[in-house]
């Protein structure tokens, strides 16, 4: 996925984040920070990834800090406090297709709700960027690729 950060009056910074390509040491740091900031002890990296997908403000801030540290290693978490509309998460096509498969299997939704959600997801899939090659999105201006 892409994380687009546009601080007021500045150019957009685009970061690529591949949740499965995060070193375990970094994942542990994310878990620690996310647990602390969410006020819930023991939050896992899996829960963090899901909350990023659900557009959690705390998760997006922790993610932005993680990505910005790749470019600015000394940046403190306290210094990363963007406005809500300055951080946008954009899913790649394969990520949305994976979500669609999971949604198709979801039995908690009514047939009508599922159909509506799948139709919206299909529209997002049509517009979503694709990966040109592993680790690089088509047309991406990635500032800090995941390693």
The pair of structure tokens assigned to 81 is 């406090």
In this prediction, residue 73 has a pLDDT band, given cuts at 50, 70 and 90, of very high
The helix (run of H) or strand (run of E) holding residue 114 is: helix 111-127
Quick: pLDDT tens for 30-52: 999 999 999 999 999 989 988 89
Long-range contacts made by residues 92-95, C-beta under 8 angstroms, separation at least 24? 92/1, 92/2, 92/128, 92/129, 92/130, 92/131, 92/137, 93/125, 93/128, 93/129, 93/130, 94/130, 94/131, 95/1, 95/128
Where do the DSSP E strands lie in the chain? 2-5, 13-16, 87-90, 131-133, 136-137
End-to-end CA distance of the chain: 14
Quick: pLDDT tens for 2-35: 999 999 999 999 999 988 899 999 999 999 999 9
Cβ count within 10 A of residue 2: 19
The CA distance from 52 to 67, in Å, is: 13
């Amino acid at each position: 996925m892409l994380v687009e950060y546009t601080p007021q009056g500045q150019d957009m910074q685009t970061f690529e984040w591949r949740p499965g390509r995060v070193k375990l040491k970094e994942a542990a740091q994310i878990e620690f920070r996310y647990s602390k900031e969410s006020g819930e002890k023991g939050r896992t990296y899996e829960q963090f990834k899901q909350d990023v997908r659900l557009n959690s403000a705390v998760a997006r801030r922790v993610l932005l800090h993680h990505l910005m540290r790749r470019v600015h290693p000394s940046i403190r978490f306290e210094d990363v406090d963007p406005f809500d509309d300055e951080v946008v998460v954009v899913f790649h096509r394969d990520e949305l297709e994976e979500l669609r498969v999971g949604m198709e299997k979801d039995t908690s939704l009514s047939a009508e709700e599922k159909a509506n959600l799948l139709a919206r997801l299909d529209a997002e899939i049509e517009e979503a960027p694709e990966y040109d090659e592993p680790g690089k999105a088509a047309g991406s201006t990635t500032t800090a690729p995941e390693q």
